[in-house]
Structure 1
Amino acid sequence: MKLSFQLIQSDQTSTVDVNINSFIVAGWAGRDKDAIEHHIEELAELGVPRPSAVPLYYRIAANQLTQDTNVEVVGDGSSGEAEVFIFSHNGQALVSMVSDHTDRKLEAHSVALSKQLCVKPVADVAWAYDEVADHWDELVLRSWIEEDGAKVLYQEGPLALLQPPLDLLQGYFGNAQIPEHNGMACGTVGVIGKIRHAPTFTMELFDPRLERSIKHRYTASILPEVA
């Protein structure tokens, strides 16, 4: 899947085009056992079984990645999750954002299928991993949803709550580097309230040290159902 990013670095801004041929979602990627258990309990309320291992890696078709701001979903049971997206370009590790949009109704039957069913919206801005590596834990994930016409905070938490990305890469690839043409979603933080569907989803990765953000907003349109 070809993705295009505005790569913002301390000394320059450029446009990079990246072909992602393999996409992995690192699930249950919390650093704190209590936080992992909280997320497991969130999903258990929806009938989702406990994972067989933590973290657990899901291979998702790369063509599910999209940078469109309007996506289509089946039914009203899906929702987004803000996650860091790490990938490589010409040997350089880069960081952006992806929403692990998931069908929650299907999730009770199969987590893998529930993730595979939905497209994964990706932001169009990226940073060099080296510029944030020394203060990675300070970065903050946030998301908002639309409810009754209002923008409501849905997720918020520092990356200190999640496994370090190099550990996740090591766990999957056997090497703490992201191979070319691969991308990984690096886990999410718990929601505020209950997991729920919303017509719009806005996500942000905020860097308080360098005072900058990566943001992306998309609308999920429900496809008509045919009996």
Structure 2
Amino acid sequence: MLEIKGVSAQYGEARVLHEVSLRVGEGEVVTLVGRNGAGKTTLLRCAMGLHPHTTGTVRLAGQDITGSPAHRRARLGLGFVPDDRGIYAGLTVEENLTLPPVKGPSPWPLTRVYDTFPVLAARRRAPGGKLSGGEQQMLALARVLRTGARVLLCDEPTEGLAPVVVQRIGDILREAKEHGVSVLLIEQNLRFATTVADRHYLLAQGRIALSLDNASAREREHEILTHLGL
């Protein structure tokens, strides 16, 4: 569904990604783990067309989108959930959900969003800025699903959240997967990652250092945690 091949990126003279290649299949959850500064967020921004100094190719469902701007990629079904969530603080939950246009091929109707995220249904009239961190994260995920994204780029959706909320985020990602949505997930919580993902890539110093299926990631947990400095 999503294929990144030979992607390099830099900030000024500093190169942060070195010919990175990975793929995410249809209905597959793949995690990208690595230390802070390894280039994980930059890779997601390259995939979304948000980083200007990029080489390599990006393909979505077999279509080359390398030269496409971010809004074109979104219309083709690529959705981005940034680490700051991007919630409009002054708009209500429902306004946050309905403001972005439905452009992707498989939009979730508002009724389905509220069925999947009952906390958002209960708080639909609340301003986005009044939500808890966990509620904002659910809103960020729900908003992208409602636009019709078939591939989600999620940047550390569990960071700083209570365990019960982390569990709920996992449930939502698994449900999205069951409906054919693919996910490329940046995640520092390796044990959480192994509960939702099919495969894992370890990014170190801007390069893919390991590519593992879920069973191998569990077996080599200590090695991966050592790479992460945990």
TM-score category of the 2 structures, normalised to the smaller one? under 0.3
Normalising by structure 2, we get a TM-score of 0.22
More strand by share: 1
Normalising by structure 1, we get a TM-score of 0.22
